[in-house]
């Protein structure tokens, strides 16, 4: 089974900071990676798919990069609304539906 | 409005059963695979079950295999999750989510608000 490892598990940052979250796969997954944002008490929302494609309506300060085994989600300038938990997800690997453990982005 | 809406959650005793429903509106329901994803209190996301748009192919996580059954009625635009032999560790918010393809194994672009299942005596 392919394992997905996210880091860090918690990240403290300030409004205006540039932050990067990393997701590593235990095997080559090409660009079959999505990123989600989840706020407390709410459902996850899709941010990025195919490792770097921005979902419609998502602010351009969010970007994704990577292929193979290492992927990043970057927020270029943190806004108050961005403090949430972020998950990566492997797909197109039926029957595997694998989420990363999550990264909680907190206000410093 | 394009949305999915879950129902059917509640409090159930260990060993009991519950059926969740998820109605999709505003899109051609049969054109999309659909999934159930759960989240235990304070924990991360955990994929439970998925079904192709046609209803042919299904997937169940090992943790629920043999106890949970996913099904759908495309004439009613509704996805179901029959949960039997429930355990305390099944306590979670259960989200219904639309996958971007008709076959299994994709990411989800539309999520419901979730329904809480609590397994406790």
Contact B105 A94 (CB under 8 A): yes
Contact B111 A49 (CB under 8 A): no
Residue A99 touches chain B, beta carbons under 8 Å: yes
Q: What is the pLDDT of residue B56?
A: 86
pLDDT band, residue B96 (cuts 50/70/90): very high
List of residues 6+ apart from A34 with CB closer than 8 A: A46, A47, A48, A49, A50, A88, A89, A91, B107
Contact A42 B45 (CB under 8 A): no
| Phi, psi torsion values for B32, nearest 5 degrees | -130, 135
In terms of Cβ atoms closer than 10 Å to its own Cβ (0-12, 13-18, 19+), residue B13 is exposed
In terms of Cβ atoms closer than 10 Å to its own Cβ (0-12, 13-18, 19+), residue B112 is buried
Nearest partner of B83 among B68, B93, B96, judged by Cα: B68
Nearest CA in chain A to B36: A97
3-state secondary structure B66-92: CCEEEEEECCCCEEEEEECCCCHHHCE
Q: A5-53, pLDDT tens digit by residue?
A: 999 999 999 999 999 999 999 999 999 999 999 999 999 999 999 999 9
Nearest CA in chain A to B100: A49
Strands B10-12 and B115-119: parallel
- Which segments within B8-65 are labelled E, that is strand? 10-12, 18-25, 34-39, 45-51, 58-60
| Mean pLDDT, rounded, for B37-58 | 94
Residues from chain A contacting residue B35 (CB–CB below 8 Å): 97
pLDDT above 90 (res B29): yes
For the four alpha carbons of B100, B60, B91 and B78, in that order, the dihedral sign comes to positive
Number of CB pairs, chain A paired with chain B, less than 8 A apart: 55
Contact A101 B95 (CB under 8 A): no
Q: What is the pLDDT of residue A94?
A: 65
Nearest CA in chain B to A90: B107
Q: Three-state DSSP class for A46?
A: strand
Identify whether the C-beta of residue A49 lies closer than 8 Å to the C-beta of residue B107: yes
Q: B49-94, pLDDT tens digit by residue?
A: 999 998 888 999 999 999 999 999 999 999 999 999 999 999 999 9
């Amino acid at each position: 089974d392919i394992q997905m490892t996210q880091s860090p598990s918690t990240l403290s940052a300030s409004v205006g900071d540039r932050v990067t979250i990393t997701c590593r796969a235990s095997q080559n997954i090409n660009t079959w990676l999505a990123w989600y944002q989840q706020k407390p008490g709410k459902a996850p929302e899709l941010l990025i798919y195919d490792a770097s494609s921005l979902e419609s309506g998502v602010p351009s300060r969010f970007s994704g990069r990577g292929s193979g085994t290492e992927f990043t989600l970057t927020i270029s300038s943190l806004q108050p609304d961005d403090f949430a938990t972020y998950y990566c997800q492997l797909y197109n690997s039926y029957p595997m539906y694998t989420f990363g453990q999550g990264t909680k982005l907190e206000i410093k | 409005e394009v949305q999915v809406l879950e129902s059917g959650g509640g409090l159930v005793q260990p060993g009991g059963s519950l059926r969740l429903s998820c109605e999709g509106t505003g899109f051609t329901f049969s054109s999309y695979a659909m999934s159930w994803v759960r989240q235990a209190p304070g924990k991360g996301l955990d994929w439970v079950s998925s079904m192709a748009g046609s209803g042919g192919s299904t997937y169940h996580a090992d943790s629920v295999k043999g106890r949970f059954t996913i099904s759908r009625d495309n004439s009613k635009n509704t996805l179901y999750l029959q949960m039997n032999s429930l355990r305390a560790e099944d306590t979670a918010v259960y989200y219904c989510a639309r996958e971007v393809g008709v076959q299994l194994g994709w990411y989800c672009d539309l999520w419901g608000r979730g329904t809480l299942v609590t397994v406790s005596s």
